[in-house]
């Protein structure tokens, strides 16, 4: 823990903006086994109150009800009793409550992320029926301003509206990954949220707070954890990821580029550069270790993915960001430049398959979008080759991205290579698919061919509002502007 950084993070803790939204229920009298659904018409994050009354005789026994908060309508009828995912079932937003006094207003302590509330009456006396009258959410966010959906056409505007809401609802005391689950700050998510934030809500202090939180909880050796808990007090998670630690560097570079805040950049630069030194411990010579000896390197939620090649590329990408940041700050870059040159040459000789003209990964020489996307982002073979690599991939059975997180990187790689039209089409197809499937906010996972896709063994714990899916707002404003930014 570095106290002076955590003190700065604390001073930057935002005040949340709250808004009260109420909806009337359909007031159907509910007996044993009956249920009703309240629809708030959009996705909200906040605390909830529900007013109940009754019809019939005076209530002579409590009503025992189940409340289920759902982000997406498909969750309303999802049976979660036999949940067998590998992360805790406690993330599912279900409550079992006794209502003793009726009429009364039930005030729930937890914060929920939802559009719908399903109320099931489990047990009630036969002498009366329960009536749900009205529900209210005090919605909260640290986004200060409203941002008008923007886009060069209707599809872009439609996607942007949902992306803006995704970002806004993940903006709480930190940039959360998902307001339903895990409700905390992850580095990979932060980097993408910050990019979208610079084009939209411009809450620079929230990014600054998150940078100081990460730097403040770094290990004794300087290593930055993949995620931070802030409640009930600030504490680092014991999860470290090869890629996420390194991604602190471009996150700091982006922050400095957006704000010009040199004091912060200079203060956090040593922490950023330290990630390169620590990452080096995972190299044999200039080639990063294979996936099984590397520890966790995230890249994507595809469980079969070999990460070796992507890890090498992330390292190069981040080291190049470090060079840029140092140059902007007037810090010398000779050692970084020598190292990146060696790592780039090693990347080509270890991972570039000359017969395929594509990058492959691991002992099995696995072909994936991830490896090639990251090698293009790291600009290992130059822009012209990148455009060919990304085009060539399409006619192969390379492992495809499964999360909007890797889709983001795919789109960025296409843009960097100059394939802006293809990037736009890819973004429209993928994100508009979620809009068509009823997204009010964008999801953690979206596989157009498999509605049940989940890295957790059950989609009941998937998020339908997830940080890393908000970047259409960034792409649309920065690159797909109908010539406005050219
Ligand atoms: C998920 C989180 C987060 C991501 C990590 C790797 O559990 O929701 O978005 O960054 O995994």
Q: Output the DSSP codes for 163-205.
A: HHHHHHHHBSSSB-S-TTTT-SEEHHHHHHHHHHHHHTT--HH
Residue 125 CA, chain-centre distance (Å), reads 45
Phi-psi region of 49 (alpha: psi -120 to 50; beta: other; left: phi over 0): beta
Topology of domain 154-480, CATH: Glycosyltransferase (1.50.10)
Alpha-carbon gap, residue 90 to 94, rounded angstroms: 8
Alpha-carbon gap, residue 29 to 131, rounded angstroms: 5
Please name every residue paired with 18 in a beta bridge, in sequence order, or none if there are none.
140
Quote the ligand 1 centre to 194 CA distance (angstroms).
16
Q: What element of type H or E holds 114?
A: strand 112-123
Residue 122 has phi, psi (to 5 degrees) of -90, -50
CA-proximal residue: ligand 1, atom 7 (nearest): 182
Which residue, 53, 54, 68, is CA-closest to 126?
A: 54
Residues across the chain: 486
Quote the ligand 1 centre to 22 CA distance (angstroms).
32
The pLDDT tens digits for 45-62 are: 999 999 999 999 999 999
Residue 23 CA, chain-centre distance (Å), reads 29
Q: Are 237 and 229 in contact (CB under 8 A)?
A: yes
112-123 and 63-70 strand pairing: antiparallel
Alpha-carbon gap, residue 255 to 477, rounded angstroms: 17
Alpha-carbon gap, residue 78 to 23, rounded angstroms: 23
State the span(s) of the chain assigned CATH 2.60.120.260: 18-141
CA-proximal residue: ligand 1, atom 3 (nearest): 177
Q: Measured from the CB, is residue 186 less than 6 Å from ligand 1?
A: yes
User: Closest ligand 1 atom, CA of 181?
Assistant: 8
CATH architecture of 18-141: Sandwich (2.60)
Cis peptide before 103 (omega within 30 of 0): yes
Helical pair 187-199 and 204-216, crossing angle rounded to 10 deg:
160
| Burial letters 212-247, b for 16+ CB under 10 A, else e | bbbbbbbeeebbbbbbbbbeeeeebeeebbbbbbbb
Quote the ligand 1 centre to 186 CA distance (angstroms).
7
Residue 482 is predicted with a pLDDT of 82
- Look up tokens 């840029």; give the residue: 324
State the span(s) of the chain assigned CATH 1.50.10.10: 154-480
Q: What element of type H or E holds 265?
A: helix 262-280
Q: Measured from the CB, is residue 188 less than 6 Å from ligand 1?
A: yes
Quote the ligand 1 centre to 466 CA distance (angstroms).
9
Q: Are 171 and 203 in contact (CB under 8 A)?
A: yes
User: Closest ligand 1 atom, CA of 466?
Assistant: 9
Alpha-carbon gap, residue 403 to 288, rounded angstroms: 24
Q: Measured from the CB, is residue 160 less than 6 Å from ligand 1?
A: no
Residue 444 is predicted with a pLDDT of 98
Which residue, 138, 212, 142, 204, is CA-closest to 173?
A: 142
Residue 486 is predicted with a pLDDT of 60
Q: Measured from the CB, is residue 178 less than 6 Å from ligand 1?
A: yes
pTM of the model: 0.97
Mutate which of 179, 180, 186 for ligand 1 pocket (most atoms within 8 A of beta carbon): 186
Distances (CA, A) of 361 to 177, 251, 375, 397, 442: 29, 26, 11, 14, 30
DSSP SS3 for 24 = strand
Q: Measured from the CB, is residue 243 less than 6 Å from ligand 1?
A: no
Residue 373 is predicted with a pLDDT of 98
Q: Measured from the CB, is residue 179 less than 6 Å from ligand 1?
A: no
Residue 322 has phi, psi (to 5 degrees) of -65, -40
Q: Which residues of the chain have pLDDT under 50?
A: none
The pLDDT tens digits for 235-272 are: 999 999 999 999 999 999 999 999 999 999 999 999 99
CA-proximal residue: ligand 1, atom 5 (nearest): 186
Alpha-carbon gap, residue 441 to 462, rounded angstroms: 13
Which residue, 26, 203, 45, 198, is CA-closest to 119?
A: 26
**Rounded to a whole number, what is the largest CA-CA distance in the chain?**
83
Q: Measured from the CB, is residue 85 less than 6 Å from ligand 1?
A: no
Mutate which of 86, 113, 188, 302 for ligand 1 pocket (most atoms within 8 A of beta carbon): 188
Q: Measured from the CB, is residue 182 less than 6 Å from ligand 1?
A: yes
Contacts with 460 (C-beta within 8 Å, 6 or more apart), sequence order: 75, 78, 80, 83, 85, 89, 92
Residue 412 is predicted with a pLDDT of 98
Residue 83 is predicted with a pLDDT of 95
Quote the ligand 1 centre to 226 CA distance (angstroms).
9
Alpha-carbon gap, residue 357 to 377, rounded angstroms: 17
Quote the ligand 1 centre to 445 CA distance (angstroms).
11
Q: Measured from the CB, is residue 225 less than 6 Å from ligand 1?
A: no
Contacts with 344 (C-beta within 8 Å, 6 or more apart), sequence order: 316, 378, 380
Q: Are 51 and 134 in contact (CB under 8 A)?
A: yes
User: Closest ligand 1 atom, CA of 298?
Assistant: 6
């Amino acid at each position: 823990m570095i106290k002076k950084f955590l003190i700065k993070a604390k001073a930057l803790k935002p005040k949340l903006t709250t808004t009260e939204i109420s909806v009337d229920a359909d007031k159907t009298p509910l007996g044993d086994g009956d249920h009703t659904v309240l629809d708030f018409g959009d996705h909200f994050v906040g605390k909830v109150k529900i007013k109940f009354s009754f019809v019939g005789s005076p209530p002579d026994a409590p009503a025992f009800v189940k409340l289920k908060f759902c982000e997406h309508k498909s969750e309303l009828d999802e049976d979660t009793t036999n949940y067998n995912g590998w992360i805790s079932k406690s993330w599912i937003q279900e409550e079992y409550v006794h209502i003793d006094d009726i009429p009364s207003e039930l005030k729930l302590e937890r914060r929920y992320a939802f559009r719908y509330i399903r109320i099931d009456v489990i047990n009630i006396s036969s002498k009366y029926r329960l009536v749900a009258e009205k529900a209210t959410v005090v919605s909260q966010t640290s986004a200060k301003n409203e941002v008008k959906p923007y886009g060069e056409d209707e599809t872009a505007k439609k996607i942007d509206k949902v992306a803006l809401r995704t970002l806004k609802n993940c903006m709480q005391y930190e940039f959360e990954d998902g307001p339903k689950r895990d409700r905390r700050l992850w580095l990979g998510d932060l980097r993408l949220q910050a990019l979208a934030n610079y084009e939209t809500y411009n809450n620079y202090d929230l990014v600054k707070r998150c940078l100081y939180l990460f730097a403040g909880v770094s290990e004794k050796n300087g290593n930055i954890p993949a995620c931070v808990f802030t409640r009930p007090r600030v504490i680092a998670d014991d999860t470290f990821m090869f890629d996420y630690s390194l991604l602190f560097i471009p996150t700091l570079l982006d922050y400095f580029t957006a704000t010009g805040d040199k004091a912060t950049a200079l203060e956090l630069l040593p922490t950023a550069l330290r990630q390169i030194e620590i990452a080096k411990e995972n190299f044999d010579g200039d080639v990063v270790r294979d996936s099984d000896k590397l520890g966790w390197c995230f890249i994507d939620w595809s469980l079969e993915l070999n990460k070796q090649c992507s890890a090498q590329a992330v390292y190069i990408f981040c080291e190049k960001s470090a060079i840029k940041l140092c140059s902007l700050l007037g810090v010398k870059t000779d050692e970084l430049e020598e190292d990146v040159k060696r790592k780039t040459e090693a990347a080509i000789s270890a991972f570039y398959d000359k017969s395929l003209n594509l990058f492959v990964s691991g002992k099995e020489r696995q072909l994936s979008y991830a490896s090639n996307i990251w090698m293009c982002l790291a600009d290992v073979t130059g822009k012209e080759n990148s455009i060919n690599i990304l085009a060539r991939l399409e006619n192969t059975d390379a492992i495809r991205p499964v999360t909007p997180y890797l889709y983001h990187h795919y789109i960025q790689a296409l843009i960097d290579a100059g394939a802006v039209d293809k990037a736009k089409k890819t973004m429209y197809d993928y994100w508009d698919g979620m809009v068509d499937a009823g997204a009010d906010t964008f999801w953690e996972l979206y596989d157009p061919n498999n509605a049940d896709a989940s890295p957790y063994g059950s989609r009941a714990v998937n998020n339908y509002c997830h940080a890393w899916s908000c970047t259409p707002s960034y792409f649309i404003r920065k690159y797909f502007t109908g010539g406005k930014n050219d």
